[in-house]
Amino acid sequence: QLKPYEPVTDARMANPEPANWLMYRGNYAGWGYSPLDKINDRNVGKLTLAWSYVTGMSEGHQAPPIVNNGYMYISTPNNQVIAFEAKSGRELWRYKKPIPEELQQLHPTNRGVALYKDKLYFATTDAMVVALDPVSGKELWKQPIGDWKAGYYSTLAPLAANGKVVVGVSGGEYGVRGYIVALDGETGKEVWRTYTVPAPGEPGGDSWPGETYKNGGASVWITGTYDPETRLSYWGTGNAAPWMPDTRQGDNLYANSTLALDIDTGALKGYHQYHWNDAWDWDEVSAPLLIDVERNGKKVKSLVHAGRNGYLWHLERTSDRINFVDAWPYVKQDVFASVDPRTGRPTYREDKRPGTGKTVSFCPSLWGGKDWFPEAYSPKTGMLYVPANNNLCSELKGEAVNYRKGELYIGVSLDNILTNVRMTDASRQHIGEVQAWNVGAKKNVWTHKYPEMNWGPLMATGGNLVFGGGTNDRMFRAFNATTGQMLWEFPASSGVTGVPSSFEVDGEQYIAVQAGWGVDAERMQGAFNAVLKHKTTVPQGGTVMVFKLGR
C-alpha cells in the first residue's frame, strides 16, 4: 500500500514538507525541529507506542529515523541500514556491509543515512560511502574515502546537497589528518577533498610545528549544516592529536573549529576556532545551527554552537566570513581566564592546561559541556535547547606517545580515560541538564535537571514540545518547550541516545527514536561507576520506537 518512492530533490531539501524528516536534523539549518503540532503540550500525555522493532545490534544507536512519504530508514552500529513502512513498522529490507575482522571500532555507532534524489547514502566504519536503492535496498555503488588501516572511519550521517554527498572522517584518537570529502551523488566519484589540517605553506599551515600536521586530528564526525542562499556548508572539527598540547605547539588550525566550505568546490570561506592548541579532547564537531537571532533590536544571521568546551557561541555568518559575536559559559568552566570580546579567542589558566608529564584537573570534563548529541531550535519559541552535562570535571595525566599507523595516538592511558571523572559538590547534586536559551538576550529561560548525566539528542516540535532521552534510567521524555515542565516519559528497553524525529502519515503524527545505549555514554557511565558508591548498568541492545497518540 506504499506509494511510489518520491525522489528527494534540492527544492524539497531546501524546504522540507512538515510531514517528512528528510535529513539528519530535519532541515539544512540544523534545527532538529518538526513543525507538526497534532501531538502537543495538551495531549502528549496520551502518547503510546505504535510499533517497535529490535535491530539485533548492541552499542550506540544514535541515528534518527529518516522519513520520506511513508518510507522510513535507520542505520545502526556495524554498517547496517533497515527500511520500514513508517506507519506499520513492516520491514521493507535490510542491508549490512561486513566489517573487516581486524578493524577495532573505537566508536561503534552510525549516525544515520542521507536521502537524495532516487538514492540513499551512508558512511561506514571501514571508511566508505555506500549508495543504496531506497526501494529495494540494492547496493548501487561504494566508494572508499579513507584508509581504515590508518584509523580512518566514519560515523556521521552524510550531508546531501547540490548534486553531492559530503562526509567527514573520524580518527582523532588515531592521529589521522582530518578532511571533508564530497562525492558525486550519481556516480560516487570524488569531487573535492578539503583537509581540516593545512600543510606547511597553506594558510594556517604555520600553526603546526614540523611534521605534526600529518597526524593532527581535527576529524569530522557530525553532519554539517548548509545555507542554500550562500551555498556554504558549515562543519565542526574535532580534537587536535595527540591530546597533549606541548607535542604540537601552536594554534593547530583548524582543529576545534567551525569551517565554512563552498559546497561546489570545498574552498574554505571562513572559520572560527573555539579554542587553540586543544588540551582537553574538546572536539567541537557539532555543526553550528543557522538561526536568525534578534540581538539589541537587530537581526543577526547567526551560527549558534553549544561548545564541548562549555561556552555557548554566538557567531555571525556572511558570504565570505565568520564573525565572532559573543560567548559565555553554560556549564561550570574553569579553564578560560577570558574571551577576547572582539575575536572570541580565549586565554587559558596555565594550571588548567594538561601536558606531557603533568596531571591536571579541569571542568567541564573531557566529554564537555555537551558532547556530540545535537541541540534543537524552535522558531516558535525562539529558544535554543541544549542537552548539557554540568558541574563535572576530569583529571588527565599526559604521557609521551609515538605515532604508529592504526594505533591509538592519545597520550593519556586508557586506564586514566576510564577513571578520569572528578565530582564536585555540585555534581553530587546533579549533572545532566536540558537548558532553554534566548540566545540574543543571553538568557537562560529554563533548565531541567537530572541527577546523573545526559547523552540525549533533542528535538523541538510545533506542538510546543521538546523531546529527548539520554539518561541512564532509560527514559524518553517530552517537555513543555516554553516552560520546561516535564509532560511525559516512557521507559525504553535501553538508554536513548538516538536522535528523535517526527513525521506524519495519513493525517496522523508520529514521534520516532532509537533506544540503544553504547559508545561514550556507556564509557562515561563506567568512569562514573569508578568514582560513585553506587553502580549503574544500562542494558544494551537497539530498538526503533515509534509513538502516536492513543485514543
Catalytic positions are 281
Identify the three-state secondary structure at position 28: coil
Contact flags string 49-78 toward ligand PQQ, x per CB under 6 A: -----------x------------------
With respect to Ca ion, which residue has the nearer C-beta, 309 or 378?
A: 309
Q: Which does 109 bind (CB under 5 to 8 A by kind): ligand PQQ, Ca ion, none?
A: ligand PQQ
- Count the residues of the shown chain that bind ligand PQQ, applying the rule CB under 6 A: 20
491 CB burial (10 A radius; 0-12, 13-18, 19+)? exposed
Region near ligand PQQ per CB under 6 A, out of 92-100, 171-179, 353-361, 508-516: 171-179
- Residue 221 binds which one of ligand PQQ, Ca ion, none, with CB within 5 to 8 A depending on kind? ligand PQQ
Nearer to ligand PQQ, 219 or 480 (CB): 219
Q: Which is nearer to ligand PQQ, 66 or 157 (CB)?
A: 157
DSSP at 517: -
> Of 325 and 410, which CB lies nearer to ligand PQQ in the complex structure?
410
Alpha carbon distance 491, 489 (integer Å): 7
Cβ atoms of 115 and 23 within 8 Å: the answer is: yes
Q: Which residues pair with 346 in a beta bridge?
A: 339
- Looking at the Cβ atoms of 247 and 302, the one nearer to Ca ion is 247
> Cα–Cα distance between 437 and 312 in angstroms, integer?
10
CB of 519 to Ca ion, least distance (A): 12
Closest residue by Cα to residue 226 from 411, 24, 482, 386: 24
- β-bridge partners, 72: 67, 84
Give the separation between CA 486 and CA 301, rounded to whole angstroms: 32
Of the candidate residues 227, 278, 281, 326, the single one contacting ligand PQQ (CB under 6 A) = 281
Check binding of 394 to ligand PQQ (CB under 6 A): no
Closest to Ca ion by CB, 283 vs 375, is: 283
Q: Which is nearer to ligand PQQ, 63 or 465 (CB)?
A: 63
Check if the beta carbon of residue 132 is closer than 8 Å to that of residue 139.
yes
Which residue, judged by CB position, is nearest to Ca ion in the bound state? Answer: 172
Q: What Rg value do the Cα atoms of the chain yield, rounded?
A: 21
Residue 251's binding partner out of Ca ion, ligand PQQ, none, with CB under 5 to 8 Å set by partner kind: none
3-state secondary structure 168-193: ECECCCCCCECEEEEEECCCCCEEEE
CB of 219 to Ca ion, least distance (A): 7
Contact partner, 278, from ligand PQQ, Ca ion, none, Cβ < 5-8 Å per class: none
Q: Interface mask (CB under 6 A) for ligand PQQ, residues 217-236, using x and -?
A: --x-x---------------
**Whole-Å CA distances, 360 to 134, 274, 351, 355:** 50, 21, 7, 8
Residue 124 · residue 118 · CB < 8 Å: no
| Cα–Cα dist 359/352, whole Å | 10
- For the segment 237-266, give every residue that binds ligand PQQ (CB under 6 A): 238-239
CB of 510 to ligand PQQ, least distance (A): 25
H or E stretch at 132: strand 128-132
Q: Which is nearer to ligand PQQ, 44 or 169 (CB)?
A: 169
Contacting residues for 461 by C-beta, under 8 A, at least 6 apart: 33, 34, 35, 36, 37, 39, 40, 378, 467, 481, 502
Instruction: Choose the one of ligand PQQ, Ca ion, none that binds residue 309, judging by a C-beta under 5 to 8 angstroms depending on kind.
Output: none
Which residues, numbered 2-21, are part of the site for ligand PQQ (CB under 6 A)? none
CB of 479 to Ca ion, least distance (A): 30
Dihedral sign computed on CA atoms, order 313, 112, 235, 521: positive
Q: Does residue 278 interact with ligand PQQ by CB under 6 A? A: no
Which one of ligand PQQ, Ca ion, none is in contact with 67 (Cβ closer than 5 to 8 A by kind)? none
- Per-residue contact flags (x/-) with ligand PQQ for residues 127 to 156, judged by CB under 6 A: ----------------------------x-
Q: What, of ligand PQQ, Ca ion, none, does residue 60 touch, CB below 5 to 8 Å by kind? A: ligand PQQ
Q: Prior bond to 242 cis, omega within 30?
A: yes
State how far the alpha carbon of 188 is from the alpha carbons of 61, 95, 165, 196, 371, in Å: 26, 19, 8, 22, 31
Q: How far is the CB of 364 from ligand PQQ (least distance, A)?
A: 12
CB of 96 to ligand PQQ, least distance (A): 20
Q: Is 94 exposed, middle or buried (0-12, 13-18, 19+ CB in 10 A)?
A: middle
Contact criterion met (CB below 8 Å) for 317 and 297: no
Q: Three-class SS of residue 294?
A: strand
Residue 149 sits at φ, ψ, to 5 deg, of -70, -20
Cell numbers for 387? 542537552
Taking CB within 5 to 8 Å according to partner kind, which of ligand PQQ, Ca ion, none is near residue 155?
Answer: ligand PQQ
On the 0-12 / 13-18 / 19+ scale of CB atoms within 10 A, 101 is exposed
Backbone angles phi, psi at 480, to 5 degrees: -70, 120
State which residue, 371 or 504, has the beta carbon closest to Ca ion: 371
Among 126, 227, 278, 283, binds ligand PQQ (CB under 6 A): 283
Instruction: List binders of ligand PQQ among 320-349 (CB under 6 A).
Output: none
Which residue of this chain has its Cβ atom nearest to ligand PQQ in the complex? 172
User: Given the rule CB under 5 A, which residues bind Ca ion?
Assistant: 172, 238-239, 283
SS3 11: helix
Q: Which stretch binds ligand PQQ (CB under 6 A): 167-175, 390-398, 421-429, 464-472?
A: 167-175
Per partner kind, with CB cut-offs from 5 to 8 A, the member of Ca ion, ligand PQQ, none near residue 440 is: none
Tell me, what amino acid is at 338?
S
Q: Which of residues 476-535 bind ligand PQQ (CB under 6 A)?
A: 519-521
Q: Is position 371 an interface residue for ligand PQQ (rule: CB under 6 A)?
A: yes
Residue 370 DSSP symbol: S
Measured from the CB atom, the residue of 227 and 283 that comes closer to ligand PQQ is 283
Which chain residues interact with ligand PQQ by CB under 6 A? 60, 107, 109, 155, 170-173, 219, 221, 238-239, 281, 283, 367, 371-372, 519-521
